[in-house]
Structure 1
């Protein structure tokens, strides 16, 4: 079996995080408890061996045990976090935890303990190696960054699985960019540094940018990686994010920290410089700041002659810092403020990382800079509106999109303004403000007449407000722009059923069935199935219609439109009693409820019994 876990860092206030052992046993060591919880997560391939759990929990220590010969690989990731400096109280618990790990190795000959640790923390691990090995052998395996072949696979395979298509030429150009550092010396003479490997962090940043680009162009079949030179932008954004967060933690100016990094860690020849660790400060900054920047892959730590030495994480960061700090080689040069564009890029990366606090920090800095480029301010407003929309703060999000649309309009950028207006309109549509949604979507469609998604949303807004013929025409326009749009096909098919055009409706709904299943995820399948059943019933296929209706009712018992269409099916085949029952249920349905014009039709049928004949 394989168990992969992590021992999270603890503070003194976390000492109660241990679990309670059986009566008569001591409380479980909190480090051990954290590791056991992570090992017992839902991703385990097999249950955790009871003996391993018992030994780490301090249960049954000192008594003979029998164990299976089945091999057990127990991995602990980011082990360096356990070795970070702690309070004296936690130091004692760490020593106890190391002893428990050693006891587990002794008690289970079939156990192989895999500790994943940064190179710079090996010296802190050394005092515990004999305890952890329990008299056995220790094997060290250095994990180097992937070479070009492995890096190419790391870029191509996730894209392929996500439906993207990356050409070898695009991947090669991107890898050339990631492995080539164009640096300058103090005289301005350029030189090129190359590497045979690619840092995993850089691959992660590139793939995150690829996913953002792909998500923003949902209709695109082929997406591309950042073009040659674009990785400088990604790396600069990542640096800004890391520097700003850590500088804020130590109450330092982020621009000054970036300037200090360039002056301290780049030599006059444009190469990486190393700095030996001081006692409380290192090269004029708190040593703890350098350690934190090493945790963020801005710096790297190596042990040399019994002391730690810091340098830039990778040569690829040299040109990025030189571009951000043109005065890097001039002693005493003033620090330049981190720009609004830098903060926006950092906010985008923080959002991918799920760090909401950092997103708010960086977007706040953009909006604070009164002289910021209006385009950057508008992009920041859109980012904040996206976040507000995801969190359900719809009115705040709508106002943000509208403010962004006005800024884009002033540039002028008609396309960006139209997209922001469309997002604001979609929120109006979600909250049932149909008249305002129609007006906003019409304004967006004027700016972006070839955007199929805006035509679809405008069609929905008109449909929901009862303007069914106009809505059908807009769905047809959307299909002319995007013939394989599942949303447009479903919308037009449903409307054609409502309007009694059953032959054309069945054609649309059958086309929808033939689309790639992934393209149908946004389509309410029960509603399209019920609509198809009604069209079939009216076209003389009662048996198939009845079977489909019965099946869909099992899946959507509280769906107003489904119940309405099902009632119509039973009315067509002559079961008026069942039809009336379903109509009454449709009136009460809430997931979703009937649209106003649908409700009026149901009320008409229920209020005029003769119409059921």
Structure 2
């Protein structure tokens, strides 16, 4: 398969690995073997780890492929989210969620009133080649949704846990695995002994070591026709291990972590893969330096995807972003699930969330014939809830310029550009104007001039003549700093052609005229200024820096 084929995707990005992608799943061989062994041996296995550490991927692409079909009876991996099932009166939403995951094709009437033990009793017993019963392996992914649910469902939750414990006791071959985020582990502890019937174990899934991360980067590539150099892979991994902290005093410090977050590595690798020109067959350190930036990638991916879907469906991108934020983020800043109606999903045509699902911003699950959507990962919460507009970033950047905080001004101008929608070229003009100030402060006059020329050109296209005047005035002052009064006067006079009443341009022209040994002309300009500005203008002329 050629590398230019868009179907070649060795890295999965934000979504988890699927079982059929086990050949692409690398770096977790030891963990997969240990979890598979523990699951078959204990009544209850608790797999826990931080969000984004890869619990779902490990379970589907690592553990399940290791289980021998003729020696185990593996039930479909369940997801229990009571709010997704809209139970009828008298139904236990937790039980219904579990059973509908195990038997998605059975209708509600068949499952209604059935306990977990009833369901298992109705299944034919499977035996191995010697006629002995094989263990029944049942996994519940994102099991924190069982224990961290609405207080309104407390009675139903307790009843569900009782049923689960009774099922393990009644069916000695039943082995339960709960995969959940580690911050919710304490909620499971009181129930471990009862559910596991005295046979219980835990497995803590930790982030990748640098060696494991190297396997993740290199492992999927042999079947793609591309390779990556060791230096490029090390750069990707080292960047992810480097964290910069800023204390309350504004002081920065850098530390080097011993581990790599799997979700970040996948985001970087998948985005790098998509950004590479199709003719590239060896990914070098230069490619990694050019393309591999985690947060920028994530936000850019979100914005680009929303913009594409919005354009396809004739929607403003800003409207779609607002819908994403309102629909899929709770008031507590966590992921929210939304069900698909007959024609609309939370006020948006059903075709829109389906398009977002295809691009892996949303994921869908089916519960009793109803389709539910949520963000593919918690890591998307920050891009979706990002409230800063380009205008707010630019406002802060200008404040930083006034405070002579050049590094911050540059960062904020860059953030404004990344927050802008496609077609908002004026943001680039505003940012270029700020870059000009920063470059000037750093003594890089050629770069400052280039930024001024770029900003003036864009402002002119948008007929933002105030902006044209500002940057031409700035460019004139740059020439003045180079002791070229002729060029300075020419630029500033052009600025006044665009904005004749611009006071800053008039003061700058007076400065240039004074430098060119024509003080009377400078005084004539000052005489025309409003009386309240004369003293400030005189101070500027005495001390122009």
> TM above 0.5, one fold?
no
Structure with greater contact order relative to length (CA < 8 Å, sep ≥ 6): 2
Q: TM-score, normalised by structure 2?
A: 0.40
More strand by share: 2
Q: TM-score, normalised by structure 1?
A: 0.36
